[in-house]
Amino acid sequence: MAGACRLFGTLEKISTSNIRKFSLPAASLLPQRQYNTEATPFGKHTKTKIVNNEVCVITLDTPGAKVNSLSKEVMEELAQVVESVQRNPSVKAGVLISGKPGCFIAGADIGMLEQCKTYDEVLTISREGQRILRRVEESSKPIVAAIMGSCLGGGLEVALACHYRVAVKDRKTALGLPEVMLGLLPGGGGTQRLPRLTGIPSALDLELTGKTVKADKARKLKIVDQLVDPLGPGLGRPDERTMEYLEEVAVQSAQALANGSLKVERKKGLMDQIMSTAFKIDFIKDMVFKKAKDQVLRLTGGLYPAPLKILEVIRVGVDKGIEAGYDAESKGFAELAMTPQSKGLMGLFRGQTECKKNRFGVPKTEIKTVAVLGAGNLVREEPLYQITSSSPNRNVMQ
């Protein structure tokens, strides 16, 4: 994984643009009210509560896990809770927040993909994820994503499907689409929503490299709409107080969106307008995508299919529209999941994760002193391997 990061970390950004900030009401100017209900379990992974008699706060908190990830069960439950918000006439808006201060959603559950044996199984997962997130996006009631901690892969795709995004401005909050590091592409609409939100050059930079950005950078890229400063220690831990404050701001924003006092106008600056106009010209569009492809081939030697497929899928969405883009995305996701490169990278990721765990358990006695005996190299009289002429293949190590 680290090698892949270094490999793509040098990819040049296709172009830069000055993105003009748009002004939104400060949290202090939004309506202030009191909470009136306690959260109750909606399912295994989510809790809900009604705030101010009109905002449903959906808390995602998978029990027994350090981070939230998107499994089939989590996605189905998310779809159900969104439908319940739609059916409840007293609810005017929703807020999606994590119950884990260090993590919004870390991404999709890799185990879910590892269990897939066929192209069709992976294709179904991608299309179902797209369907659920499009339901979120098309909700008649605004849904606000309240982001604190890692918001990666499928987690960012969930946030992109929401109508408004509030994020904590601290070092732990990071947003990105790192699927390329696993030999994959974003399969929940990320290849189509991100370019339309932040522009094609910035989307290519993020998706081809798998890099993450902090909340303030995400605001400049229009991925985040509003920033929240973290709080210091008080009656509770700083992370707990910050999470409570984030929820309050998100609820206020949801109310304002619902009653029309807050309107999201992601106005394009001059450079954005120039870039949008330029990408309507086939010659310029061809030149940008060709440059990106040349850079990928130079860095990978054509041995790494994921970034090439990302370029292809984004281009389909740009040329043929979002419906064709979604179709190409799900098919590309399924194709890549079946490649040996993706299987190898997922296996490497799984191995790194397992190595971080303590498989020996808690020691029976407390260790107070540690000594290391020896610091030299192990010397063997026999070579570690030899090439034998008796082998059918003279280059086989034995």
Q: Which of 54, 179, 207, 329 is catalytic?
A: 179
In angstroms, the CA 191 to CA 160 distance is 11
Q: Taking Cα atoms as reference points, which of 49, 52, 132, 130 lies closest to residue 96? A: 49
Residue 123 CA to residue 359 CA, distance in Å, equals 35
Q: Hey, what are 139's tokens?
A: 């909700």
Catalytic residue among 38, 73, 77, 157: 157
Beta bridge partner(s), residue 275: none
Rounded Cα–Cα distance for residues 213 and 382 (Å): 51
* 157 is annotated as an active-site residue: yes
In the chain the beta strands, taken as DSSP E runs, fall at: 40-41, 46-51, 55-60, 93-98, 103-105, 143-147, 150-152, 164-168, 174-176, 212-214, 226-228
User: Hey, is 105 helix, strand or coil?
Assistant: strand
Q: In what order do the strands lie in the sheet with 150-152?
A: 103-105, 150-152, 174-176, 212-214
- 83 in catalytic set: no
Nearest 10 degrees: CA dihedral of 257, 258, 260, 266? 30
Q: Which residues are catalytic?
A: 157, 179
